[in-house]
Structure 1
Amino acid sequence: MRIGLQVSFFSWSDDTSRIGPTFGRIAKNAETAGMSSLWVMDHFFQIKMIGPPELDMLEAYTALAFAAGQTSRITLGTLVTGVTYRHPGLLVKTVTTLDVLSGGRAWLGIGAAWNEEEHNGLGVRYPEVTERFERLEETLQIAQQMWSGDDTAYEGKHYHLQRPLNAPQAIQRPHPPILIGGGGERKTLRLVAKYADACNIFDMGPQAVKAKYDVLARHCDEVGRDYAEIDRTVLTRVALSASPGSKTPSGETTESVDQVVDRLGRLAEIGTTATIFGMGNDTDDEAYPLVAEVVRQVEPL
């Protein structure tokens, strides 16, 4: 099992000038600890599950480009880009640029979008759910076409590209891996089966996550896809400490290495291939040697 890190909170200080150095230090710590991937949310306002919209939020791809310059190995992606935020041709160009400049470390993480508040706040159209999923599928088709080098016209219901040229091409071949976020059983997981290299499910406990995997496996059978080809990732909350039971500044209860390894082991048993940590103490340098030990112990799982 591989372990990644998602950074979703940037309000570390009243001094905005500290955001860059702090985020850079987190990226370096994650790489040094052996984490395989670094993710940021693709939002423009902070989301209500974390805090009020007025909290700091960085634009995702600028942040990932900055992190690429601070690191050399860790892969980089959004968890996940809302399909409504960027025209698909420009999104593919953006991810391609990140892949080229990072030496082949970009992911395309994508989903159907949900945060109506930031759409309305910034003047971005927020279609009904059916249209958002139609746009998501067309975007996935455009991404695969552009990364294949086919620049013939694309004519979809929502998008019309006269010449989807993509030069330079991405370093990763056949393309940067595609991750679709969400556990919707009728639409989202079917799109994973048809187009994606990975899915991402919230940590609802092993039994509930396994039920999502079973649905994905059925969709794979229906579309003729090998279920084993798909990376099955879970987003979970972790706060490691040498003094488990203590509280982080945000009020989360910390866990020991053994507790986290045991929890990840149960996810591995149901077929999870990677977990992505949302760390309640990601600015604490002393947490990362503990992360490194978790990485070491779960690698064989």
Structure 2
Amino acid sequence: MELGVHYANFSHPDWADRLEERLTETARVADEGGVSLLTLMDHWFQMEEMGGPSEPMLEGYTTLGYLAAVTERVRLSLLVTGVTYRHPGLLAKQVTTLDRLSRGRAMLGIGAAWYDREHAGLGVPFPSTSERFERLEEALEVCLQMWGDDEGAYEGSHYRLAETVNVPPVRQRPHPPILIGGAGEKKTLRLVAKHAQMCNLFSEGTDVVAHKLDVLRRHCDDAGTDYDAIEKSIIWMGDTTDPDAFLTEMSGYAPLGIQTVVVVPGGDDPVAWTTDMVEKVLPRLADL
């Protein structure tokens, strides 16, 4: 298995003065230590369970562009951007820019969005769940068209583009990998099967994850896509202070086909946490 780091919390001690320093050093340790994926949340307000809007939150793509300049190897993505946050033409351009400036390390992490408070807070429309999923599928189609050879119009129910011009083109071919976050069996996993190169599931236990992957396999069969070509990942929100216990947990997920576990740094010092993970856990994780 490979290790991903999800930098979700900026509220470490003295963050007002040291936020940028900690983020930068954490990214460098992860990059040099062999972490395969570095992700950020894409929120305007911090989530309420992590302190809410009064806590610090950086804008996602600006931050990834900065991280592209201070790293060399690690893949970069948001986990995940909500489809309501940006017009898909702009989103495709942003991911293209990240892909070029990172020399081919960008991913498009995307989902249907859920945090209504930040939408209301900043005056951004928050459609119904069904409409957000409609928009998600159209946004994926727009991005794929902009990353392809067709510079013509796109006519959807929610998005209409007169020219899908995207110059310079993406560096990765045929396009940056698409990661769709979420585990909804009827809509989300169907979109993974149809469009994505990576899925990200919650670590809700091996039985739940095995079931979700079975659903994904059936959607791939229906769509005529290759289940085995999709990278399977989980986000682990549990404890990592005991490396042996953590690795025991991961040994249950690896046989299911989980290739990457994404972990949120714990404690008050993300640099020290990341250092411990790459030195004490990552080599053993790679053996699973």
TM-score range relative to shorter protein: over 0.9
CA distance in 1, matches of 2:136, 2:96: 18
Pairing 1:1-301 to 2, within 5 Å after superposition: 1-237=1-237, 240=240, 254-255=241-242, 257-281=243-267, 283-285=270-272, 287-301=274-288
CA distance in 2, matches of 1:121, 1:283: 29
CA distance in 1, matches of 2:177, 2:151: 20
CA drift of 1:15 comes to 4.9
Unaligned runs of 5+ in 1: 241-253
| Residues 88, 142 of structure 1: 8 Å contact kept | yes
CA distance in 1, matches of 2:246, 2:151: 47
CA drift of 1:238 comes to 5.3
Unaligned runs of 5+ in 2: none
Q: Deviations over 1:115-167 (max 9, x none)?
A: 00000000000000111000000010111111113111000000000001011
CA drift of 1:239 comes to 5.0
CA distance in 1, matches of 2:107, 2:16: 28
| Residues 237, 280 of structure 1: 8 Å contact kept | no
CA distance in 1, matches of 2:210, 2:60: 30
| Residues 238, 280 of structure 1: 8 Å contact kept | no
| Residues 35, 292 of structure 1: 8 Å contact kept | no
CA distance in 1, matches of 2:196, 2:277: 32
Q: Which structure is higher in helix share?
A: 2
CA drift of 1:67 comes to 1.1
Q: Deviations over 1:30-70 (max 9, x none)?
A: 11221101000000101122222210001001111111111
| Residues 193, 220 of structure 1: 8 Å contact kept | yes
CA drift of 1:287 comes to 5.0
CA distance in 2, matches of 1:86, 1:286: 33
Q: Give the TM-score taking structure 2 as reference length.
A: 0.96
CA drift of 1:289 comes to 3.7
Return the letter of the residue paired with 2:166. Answer: N
Return the letter of the residue paired with 2:84. Answer: T
Q: Describe the shift of the 1:23–1:234 C-alpha distance in structure 2 as closer, same or farther (beyond 3 A).
A: same
Q: Describe the shift of the 1:30–1:287 C-alpha distance in structure 2 as closer, same or farther (beyond 3 A).
A: closer
Higher relative contact order (CA 8 A, sep 6+): 2
CA distance in 2, matches of 1:169, 1:162: 18
CA distance in 1, matches of 2:51, 2:22: 19
Secondary structure of the structure 2 residue equivalent to 1:109: strand
Q: Deviations over 1:76-118 (max 9, x none)?
A: 0000000000000000000000010011110100000000000
| Residues 147, 166 of structure 1: 8 Å contact kept | yes
CA distance in 2, matches of 1:132, 1:235: 23
CA distance in 2, matches of 1:48, 1:191: 28
